[in-house]
Structure 1
Amino acid sequence: MELRLLRALVVAADRSTFSEAAAELSITQPAFTKQIQQLESLVGAPLFRRGRQGAALTSAGSALLEDARTLVALADRLDERMRRMARGDAGHLTVAFGLSSIAIAPRAVAAFRAALPGVTVRLEDMSSARQVEDVRSGELDVGFVRLPAPDDLRAAPVLSDRLVIACPPSWDAPPVSSDPAHWLHEHPRVALRPARGPGLTAQVNRYLVRIGSASKAIQEADDLQTVLALVAAGVGAAVVPESSRNIAPARVTMHHLSGEYVRWEVGVVWRADNETPVVRTFLDEIARVAAAADDR
């Protein structure tokens, strides 16, 4: 069944004459009449009675009209949805972020949702390694990961982060002008469980090896908020991303570190063959949010 024939039936039922119906569909009256005749041939019965007062539905036409109207409306809605998806303002998006992007990723998603409410978004927290796997498999559309990204994924830098020492409020600050290896050895340290933050754990371990520190964590936690809560409670210090300042209790003080392995870049990754209009629109929104953050 051709949709154009059902549309001809619906439009003819809503107009007084075939000439008005033809004008509605932007075709000639002979072409419109031919469409009705084709449909009548398929049904095996006349669908309209034509007279001086115009065209009126027969019983066969009335029997078909409701289903024809439903199918035409469904087709129109589907067509509109496809157009919106092609424009990037409808569809579904799956996004994940890690510790270093905990501030910018939710902001980008919020701005994206406000601009395109027709797109549903799922946002998850996971490590960079897991994000790379899920982007590759198609479970994720976009991930916020540590750079550099694997060569088989497309990537764009978003922000940089650095290690800092988070200290309880009553503690003396670590030395700024010299390597804090001795200070870290003399003070208890808490840390994120490696399985929950393998990228951060590797970054911290590289830094500790670089400065010659043998500091070991006396307690581990499953999330960075808990690590910082332990710091605030005086359990120990922690080497954390500076971006965690956004979720740290006010009593926690943070002190910059310097040298090798202190800084790293964070970017977004996606698959080249999955750069849909929705994904492209979200990437543009990330760029705007990141630029706004840099301006502050």
Structure 2
Amino acid sequence: MNTRLLKAFVVLAEKGHYALAAEALAISQPALTKQINLLESRVSLALFTRGRHGTALTTGGRRLLPEAKKVVAQAELFLHHAEQVAKGREGFLAAGFGLSSFYFAPECIARFRAQYPGVDITLEDLPSAQQYEMLQSGALQVGFVRVPPARPLSYHSLFEDRLVLVTPENTAMNLESWLQQFPLLRLYPERGGGLNTQTTLFLHDQHIFPASTQQVEDIQTIVALIIAGIGVALLPQSVVHIAPPGLNIVPLPGEATRWQVGIAWDPRYDDSVRDNFIAIAKGFVR
């Protein structure tokens, strides 16, 4: 049933006068009369009686009014919810992030939540290559990744990250000396493909060959092994935000240490929530 007819019924019952109800509904009085007549025809029941002092509900009208109010309220709630969804104020967002955005991505989400509390968000630590795949499948809506990604993904660069040498103590040794005395700790290829590629590129550019390497599962393990004096690592400078006291962070030279980090998405999917989040990320000044 057309909810406009039910709303006309409810408003006329509340106002008790066709002229007042028509004004409240922003329609003409003849249009309101037509809607009430149509509703009465649909339900095969007279809903109102008209007298010198206005309009009164019939016995049947009084019985149906509570249900009509419920339907109208539910319809208005639905329309409000639909409007919020269309504007990206309600919904769901799955985001991915990597080592370089370990600090940046949660801050973006905190800012987004403050403006859009009706959106449910998940954030998962994933390698850039896996994020690229999940963005194209729709499993992620946005990803904080190394940019540029391959088409069809779109992206926006956010900041530059770079490699630093992380060692267990502040000792005056150069990079080559560190890598001759301690194993170079690296992530497994499936876990840190981008970081490993950057590390290899840098070492090749500097003509440095580590004496030994050790592969581990995650950054937390690398940090723990460095603290224990078991090895050293080439890590993103962004990791210093989560590094515990006592680690020695050594800047490294050369263009091979640098890469761009940005936010990526698949433009083939229409998503107002995602677009609002991207706008927040673009406007976030680090």
- Normalised TM-score (structure 2): 0.92
Residue in 1 that maps onto 2:28: 28
Q: Secondary structure at the match of 1:50?
A: strand
Query: Shift of residue 199 of structure 1?
Result: 1.4
- Which runs of structure 2 are paired with 1:1-296 in the superposition (5 Å)? 1-169=1-169, 172-175=171-174, 180-210=175-205, 211-218=207-214, 220-289=215-284, 291=285, 293=286
How far off is 1:164 after superposition? 0.9
What letter corresponds to residue 58 of structure 2 in structure 1?
Answer: T
Distance in 2 (CA, whole Å) between partners of 1:215 and 1:258 is: 20
1:212, distance to aligned residue in structure 2 (A):
3.7
Whether the 8 Å CA contact 2:50–2:56 is kept in 1: the answer is: yes
Q: State the secondary structure of the residue aligned to 1:49.
A: strand
Q: CA RMSD in A?
A: 1.8
| Counterpart code for 1:4 | R
2:128 and 2:116 map into 1 onto residues whose CA distance is 27
Q: Report the residue type matching 1:52 in the other structure.
A: R
User: 1:139 deviation in Å?
Assistant: 1.2
How many residues get paired?
285
- Secondary structure at the counterpart of residue 71 of structure 2: helix
> Aligned partners of 1:121 and 1:235: how far apart in 2?
38
**Contact (CA 8 Å) 2:183, 2:210: kept in 1 or not?**
no
Shift of 1:194: 2.5
Mapped to 1, the partners of 2:183 and 2:220 lie a distance apart of 18
Q: Deviations over 1:92-125 (max 9, x none)?
A: 2221111101111110110010122122222111
State the one-letter code of the partner of 1:82.
A
Q: Is the partner of 1:251 in helix, strand or coil?
A: coil
Between the aligned partners of 1:10 and 1:141, the Cα distance in structure 2 is 43
CA distance in 2, matches of 1:120, 1:257: 40
C-alpha deviation, 1:64, in angstroms: 2.7
Shift of residue 174 of structure 1?
3.7
Shift of residue 13, structure 1, vs aligned partner: 1.9
Secondary structure, in 3 states, of the residue corresponding to 1:273? coil
TM-score w.r.t. structure 1 length? 0.90
Distance 1:128 1:67 in 2: 54
Give the drift of 1:173.
4.0
Shifted more, 61-70 versus 159-168: the winner is: 61-70
Instruction: Please tell me whether the aligned partners of residues 225 and 248 of structure 1 are also in contact (alpha carbons under 8 angstroms).
Output: no
Percent identity, aligned pairs only, is 40
Moved more, 239-248 or 85-94: 85-94
Which moves more between the two structures, 278-287 or 96-105?
278-287
Provide structure 1 residue ranges, at least 5 long, that are not aligned to the other structure. none
Asked if 2 retains the 8 angstrom alpha-carbon contact of 1:229 and 1:249, the reply is no
Q: Check 1:76–1:183 CA distance in 2 against 1; reply closer, same or farther (3 A cut).
A: same
Letter of the 1:192 partner, please give it: L
- Judge which range, 207-216 or 124-133, deviates more: 207-216
